[in-house]
């Protein structure tokens, strides 16, 4: 990339004075003009249906993911934390802040 820009700068500077400011164009970089054309973007057919609060959406996602992971781990917080790539204590604190409480179910009918 540096080489391409250096070559383009030399081509642009050719025939100009050393103190003159030059601008690089697609021709200097040897890029076809059709590639440099600005793409036309279509306007969305309709505006977004609802405005979403990022914090709220993030907390909802975290809450659902923690519940799902704990359920799959039979309520084992250490195993769930490992699957979520986080410390068990941090998972417990996050779950408490988010209001996630999963009772450990007895597996095997005991």
Q: Is residue 43 part of a domain?
A: no
> For residue 45, is it within any domain?
no
| pLDDT tens digits along 56-94 | 999 999 999 999 999 999 999 999 999 999 999 999 999
Per-residue confidence at 31, pLDDT binned at 50, 70, 90?
low
Residue 85, SS3 per DSSP: coil
* In-domain check, residue 73: yes
pLDDT at 5 over 60: yes
Q: Please count the structural domains in the chain.
A: 2
C-alpha closest to that of 100 among 75, 79, 82: 75
Query: pTM here?
Result: 0.49
pLDDT of residue 49: 66
Q: Judge whether 22 lies within some domain.
A: yes
| Helices and strands in the chain, H and E counts | 6, 0
Q: Does residue 16 form part of some domain?
A: yes
Look at the block and give the residue holding tokens 């003159």.
20
Question: How crowded is residue 34: how many other Cβ atoms within 10 Å of its Cβ?
Answer: 7
Is pLDDT at 30 greater than 70 in this prediction?
Answer: yes
- Which domain does 23 fall in, by range? 2-36
Residue 42 lies in a domain: no
Phi-psi region of 99 (alpha: psi -120 to 50; beta: other; left: phi over 0): left
Give which of 72, 69, 62, 68 is closest to 96, Cα–Cα: 62
Q: pLDDT value at position 2? A: 79
**Inside any domain, residue 8:** yes
Output the pLDDT for position 69: 93
Nearest alpha-carbon partner for 92 in 109, 75, 108, 72:
75
Same domain, 31 and 59: no
Tell me if 71 is assigned to some domain: yes
- Read off the pLDDT of residues 38-53 as tens digits, 9 standing for 90 and up: 556 666 666 666 767 8
Which pLDDT belongs to residue 85?
93
- CA 23 vs CA 3, 19, 86: distances in Å: 17, 13, 50
């Amino acid at each position: 990339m540096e080489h391409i820009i250096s070559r383009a700068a030399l081509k642009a500077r050719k025939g100009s004075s050393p103190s003159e400011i030059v601008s690089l164009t697609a021709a200097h970089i040897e890029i076809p003009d059709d590639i440099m054309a600005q793409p036309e973007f279509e306007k969305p057919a309709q505006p977004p249906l609802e405005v979403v609060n990022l914090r709220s959406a993030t907390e909802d996602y975290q809450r659902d993911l923690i519940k799902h992971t704990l359920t799959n781990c039979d309520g084992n917080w250490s195993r769930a934390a490992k699957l979520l790539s986080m410390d068990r204590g941090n998972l417990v604190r996050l779950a408490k802040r988010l209001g996630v409480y999963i009772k450990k179910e007895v597996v095997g009918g005991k």
